[in-house]
């Protein structure tokens, strides 16, 4: 547990030499130890064995605030004790609560039809700060308190540290197989039109929007260089109905798509199946299949299909599979900061309270979250303004952009909405 607390303090500091500055910060209620530190944060009791894991450990609404920042634990009280600045706002426990998804292990009975914890049931949403990375705001407060204690610590300058333009390849093609022809003959556009798509060039397939996507993404990558990554997540299994369609990996179309990815130097990751969300032990098998069937080496990036990483402790299966970085951590029903941060963070297992090797990249925006009526149901202008606000927060706190747009969102009836919105947002990044 000490390692986890030490990591959170360094993470909050968010500056070079954070390790050195962290030695000036204590997390203790023992007055006899106050003199050893410049700043002391007094624990609220959240981590006590009699509290942790019980209903009493959950924050109560309405939340208190300290200098305009919502506070999950402790009280907004500060005082000077001799030469030490003592803080009773427990920003350590508050950060832990958000970074570890602790709330989700306490509310296991609250899940949507896909087994996901709904964003609109989360504390950040109910307390009105889902659009604010308040862990970063805690960090700013901590640096401020150090300066009050006469420690000269710099304030990070606003900047986007990294941009991840990510795309889940759920359905790469609309009508490029005999099965697709049967589907469209019975329930869709009819046999003649389906046959025309099947026999025609791949570029005419409505879902084959990848060349356009890569063209748009490359404009941002050219502006930011190595700070921008284009990343596609590929499926490699799953027998659930929500895992369809399955790729025909050896088909000419798939091989052409893979060549396009490689030509544009896009990164590739595992799109763990819907079934693997239910049975996480399947993840290592799917990773091996992806590497074997697609002839890829050392796949170490992951995002769950439907964002259905159901239980926090399931992430142990990613580590076991050799995954180092996960991009699932956003809510499907509301965009914002699920982990309370806009920076990549090591996963803290709330069951063991231990720090792990897995890095979580907070997903702030998914296409369908913005547009679909059962989620946010925003107009294009509303979606742009909301996302622009998230970008301002991320830039202010030197975070990373992680966006998810599907190739299918640029086809069919939603194409106008998402094409125009996506281009506007990419132009915003390039400013």
Confidence of residue 414 (pLDDT cuts 50, 70, 90): low
Radius of gyration of the CA atoms of the chain, in A: 23
- CA-CA-CA-CA torsion sign (238, 347, 133, 399): negative
Q: pLDDT at residue 153 above 90?
A: yes
In a domain, 251, yes or no: yes
Q: Which domain holds residue 319?
A: 162-172+207-430
Q: Looking at residues 42-69, what average pLDDT do you find?
A: 97
- Is there a single domain that holds both residue 72 and residue 122? yes
In a domain, 313, yes or no: yes
Compute, in degrees rounded to 10, the torsion defined by CA atoms 292, 295, 296, 301: -50
- Is there a single domain that holds both residue 137 and residue 227? no
Q: What is the pLDDT of residue 157?
A: 93
- Is there a single domain that holds both residue 301 and residue 399? yes
Q: Cβ contacts of residue 218 below 8 Å, gap of 6+?
A: 230, 264
Q: pLDDT at residue 52 above 80?
A: yes
Which has the higher per-residue pLDDT, 188 or 95? 95
Q: Looking at residues 5-14, what average pLDDT do you find?
A: 97
Name the helix (H) or strand (E) containing 191: helix 191-199
CB contact at 8 A, 312 and 351 = yes
For 309-313, the CB contacts below 8 A with 24+ separation are 309/116, 309/277, 310/111, 310/115, 310/116, 310/277, 310/278, 311/104, 311/105, 311/108, 312/100, 312/101, 312/102, 312/104, 312/105, 312/349, 312/350, 312/351, 313/105, 313/349, 313/350, 313/351
CA–CA gap between residue 58 and residue 51 (Å, rounded)? 9
Length of the chain: 431
In a domain, 88, yes or no: yes
Q: pLDDT at residue 262 above 90?
A: yes
Q: What is the pLDDT of residue 198?
A: 77
Confidence of residue 194 (pLDDT cuts 50, 70, 90): confident
Task: Please state the domain count of the chain.
Answer: 2
Q: What is the pLDDT of residue 192?
A: 83
Q: What is the pLDDT of residue 184?
A: 80
- Is there a single domain that holds both residue 95 and residue 239? no
Residue-wise pLDDT for 291-316, tens only, equals 999 999 999 999 999 999 999 999 99
Q: Look at residues 99, 114, 148 and tell me which one is the last residue of a structural domain.
A: 148
- Is there a single domain that holds both residue 239 and residue 352? yes
- CATH number for the domain spanning 309: value is 3.20.20
- Is there a single domain that holds both residue 166 and residue 98? no
CB contact at 8 A, 326 and 302 = yes
- Is there a single domain that holds both residue 276 and residue 403? yes
In a domain, 349, yes or no: yes
In a domain, 198, yes or no: no
CA–CA gap between residue 295 and residue 246 (Å, rounded)? 17
In a domain, 255, yes or no: yes
- Is there a single domain that holds both residue 143 and residue 212? no
CB contact at 8 A, 175 and 184 = yes
Q: Looking at residues 68-83, what average pLDDT do you find?
A: 96
CA–CA gap between residue 245 and residue 100 (Å, rounded)? 33
CA–CA gap between residue 227 and residue 235 (Å, rounded)? 26
In a domain, 121, yes or no: yes
In a domain, 191, yes or no: no
Within 68-199, strands assigned E span 69-71, 74-81, 84-89, 162-169
Q: What is the mean pLDDT of the chain?
A: 96
**Alpha-carbon distances of 415 from 66, 185, 388, 404, rounded to whole Å:** 44, 23, 20, 15
Q: Looking at residues 174-190, what average pLDDT do you find?
A: 86
Q: Packing angle between helix 134-148 and helix 91-99, nearest 10 degrees?
A: 160
Residue-wise pLDDT for 316-361, tens only, equals 999 999 999 999 999 999 999 999 999 999 999 999 999 999 999 9
CA 119 from centroid of its chain's CA atoms: 13
- Is there a single domain that holds both residue 212 and residue 79? no
Q: What is the pLDDT of residue 95?
A: 98
- Is there a single domain that holds both residue 166 and residue 141? no
Which has the higher per-residue pLDDT, 75 or 187? 75
CA–CA gap between residue 371 and residue 414 (Å, rounded)? 9
- Is there a single domain that holds both residue 86 and residue 167? no
Name the one residue in this structure whose structure tokens are 């990483």: 309
- Is there a single domain that holds both residue 167 and residue 126? no
């Amino acid at each position: 547990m000490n390692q986890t607390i030490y990591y959170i303090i360094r993470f909050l500091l968010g500056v070079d030499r954070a390790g050195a500055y962290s030695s000036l910060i204590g997390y203790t209620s023992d007055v006899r130890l106050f003199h050893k530190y410049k700043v002391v944060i007094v624990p609220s009791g959240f981590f006590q064995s009699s509290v942790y894991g019980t209903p009493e450990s959950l924050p109560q609404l309405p939340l208190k605030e300290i200098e305009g920042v919502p506070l999950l634990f402790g009280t907004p009280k500060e005082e000077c004790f001799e030469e030490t600045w003592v803080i009773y706002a427990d920003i350590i426990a508050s950060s832990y609560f958000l970074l570890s998804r602790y709330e989700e292990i306490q509310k296991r009975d609250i899940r949507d039809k896909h087994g996901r914890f709904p964003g609109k049931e989360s504390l950040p949403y109910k307390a009105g700060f889902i659009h604010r990375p308040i862990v970063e705001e805690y960090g700013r407060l901590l640096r401020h308190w150090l300066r009050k204690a006469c420690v000269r610590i710099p304030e990070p300058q606003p900047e986007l540290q990294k941009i991840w333009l990510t795309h889940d390849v759920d359905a790469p093609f609309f009508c490029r197989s005999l099965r697709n022809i049967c589907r469209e003959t019975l329930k869709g556009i009819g046999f003649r039109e389906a046959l025309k798509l099947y026999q025609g060039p791949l570029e005419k397939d409505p879902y084959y929007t990848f060349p356009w996507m890569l063209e748009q993404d490359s404009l941002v990558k050219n502006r930011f260089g190595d700070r921008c990554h284009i990343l596609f997540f590929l499926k490699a299994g799953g027998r659930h109905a929500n895992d369809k369609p399955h790729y025909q990996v050896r088909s000419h179309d798939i091989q052409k798509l893979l060549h396009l990815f490689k030509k544009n130097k896009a990164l590739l990751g595992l799109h763990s199946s819907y079934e693997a969300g239910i049975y996480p032990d399947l993840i290592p098998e799917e990773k091996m299949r992806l590497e074997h069937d697609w002839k890829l080496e050392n796949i170490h990036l992951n995002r769950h299909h439907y964002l259905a990483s159901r239980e926090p402790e399931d992430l142990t299966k990613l580590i076991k599979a050799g995954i180092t970085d996960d991009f699932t951590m956003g809510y499907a029903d509301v965009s914002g900061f699920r982990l309370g941060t806009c920076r990549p963070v090591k996963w803290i297992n709330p069951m063991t309270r231990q720090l792990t090797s897995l890095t979580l990249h907070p997903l702030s925006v998914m296409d369908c979250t913005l547009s679909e009526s059962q989620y946010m149901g925003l107009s294009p202008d509303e979606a742009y303004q909301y996302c622009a606000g998230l970008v301002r927060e991320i830039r202010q706190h030197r975070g990373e952009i992680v966006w998810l747009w599907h190739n299918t969102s640029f086809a069919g009836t939603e194409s106008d909405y998402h094409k125009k919105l996506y281009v506007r947002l990419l132009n915003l990044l390039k400013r």
